[in-house]
């Protein structure tokens, strides 16, 4: 497995990344003021950070409850076989399921950890039966409905 080389960041780069994580819509003029650079220099830094892949994109954070997606669940998925083709098929199928917010291949007592959002338990039951349990290679699942979300942080500690 090939790893991506770490890109050296100075203090200003890190500050720019922290500010953009907090407010991706900040103007380059205001960003420049906050980091003590000219607008041109700040813009060039943002372009470089984007070109180097440190800034992967921008998105709006939506309120799932106001959108009627009140139930958050984590699901442990155990596969019947742990082979490359099963991993590939499972991963491709998980990518197509809109309820799946995150899907991670993990080491330990099960194979995948899935994070999903649905309106309620009745919808989750349908999602489990019609989507998750039909994914390639699934042998067993264990579901953990979230009772209270204590912390959800999208920003990385840079």
Q: Are 52 and 7 in contact (CB under 8 A)?
A: yes
Residues in the chain: 158
Instruction: Tell me which H or E stretch contains 88.
Output: helix 84-96
pLDDT band at 1 (very low <50, low <70, confident <90, very high): low
Strand partners, 75: 114, 143
Q: What whole-number distance in Å separates Cα of residue 53 and Cα of residue 151? A: 27
pLDDT in tens, 49-76: 999 999 999 999 999 999 999 999 999 9
**Distance, first Cα to last Cα, the chain:** 25
Q: State the sign of the Cα–Cα–Cα–Cα dihedral 31, 37, 39, 44.
A: negative
The helix-helix angle for 28-35 and 11-22 (nearest 10°) equals 130
**pLDDT at res. 6:** 84
Quote the domain boundaries for residue 44.
11-51
Provide the whole-model pTM. Answer: 0.88
In which band, very low, low, confident or very high, does the pLDDT at 7 lie, cut at 50, 70 and 90? confident
What is the number of domains present in the chain? Answer: 2
Please name which of 121, 127, 87, 123 lies closest in space to residue 104, comparing C-alpha atoms: 87
Looking at the domain assignment, is residue 3 inside a domain?
no
Facing residues of 113 across strands?
Answer: 76, 104
Q: Is residue 152 part of a domain?
A: no
Percent of the chain with pLDDT over 70: 97
Phi and psi at 32, nearest 5°, equal -60, -45
Residues 46, 96: one domain? no
Q: Is 77 found in the same domain as 130?
A: yes
Same domain for 141 and 100? Answer: yes
Judgement on whether residues 115 and 79 belong to the same structural domain of the protein: yes
Are 127 and 85 part of one and the same domain? yes
Structure confidence at residue 3 (pLDDT): 65
How many C-alpha atoms does 139 have within 13 Å on its Cβ side? Answer: 9
CATH of residue 82: 3.30.70.920
């Amino acid at each position: 497995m090939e790893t991506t080389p770490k890109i050296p960041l100075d203090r200003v780069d890190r500050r720019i990344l922290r500010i953009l994580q907090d407010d991706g819509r900040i103007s380059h003029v205001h960003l420049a003021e906050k980091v003590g650079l000219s607008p041109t220099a700040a813009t060039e830094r943002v372009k470089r950070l984007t070109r180097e892949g440190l800034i992967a994109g921008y998105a709006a954070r939506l309120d799932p409850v106001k959108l009627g997606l009140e139930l958050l669940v984590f699901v442990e998925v155990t596969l019947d076989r742990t082979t490359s083709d099963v991993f590939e098929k499972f991963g491709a199928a998980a990518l197509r399921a809109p309820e799946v917010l995150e899907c991670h291949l993990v080491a330990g007592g099960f194979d995948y950890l899935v994070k999903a959002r649905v309106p309620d338990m009745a919808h989750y039951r349908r999602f489990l039966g019609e989507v998750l349990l039909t994914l390639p290679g699934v042998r067993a699942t264990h579901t953990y409905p979230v009772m209270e979300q204590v912390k959800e942080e999208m920003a990385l500690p840079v």
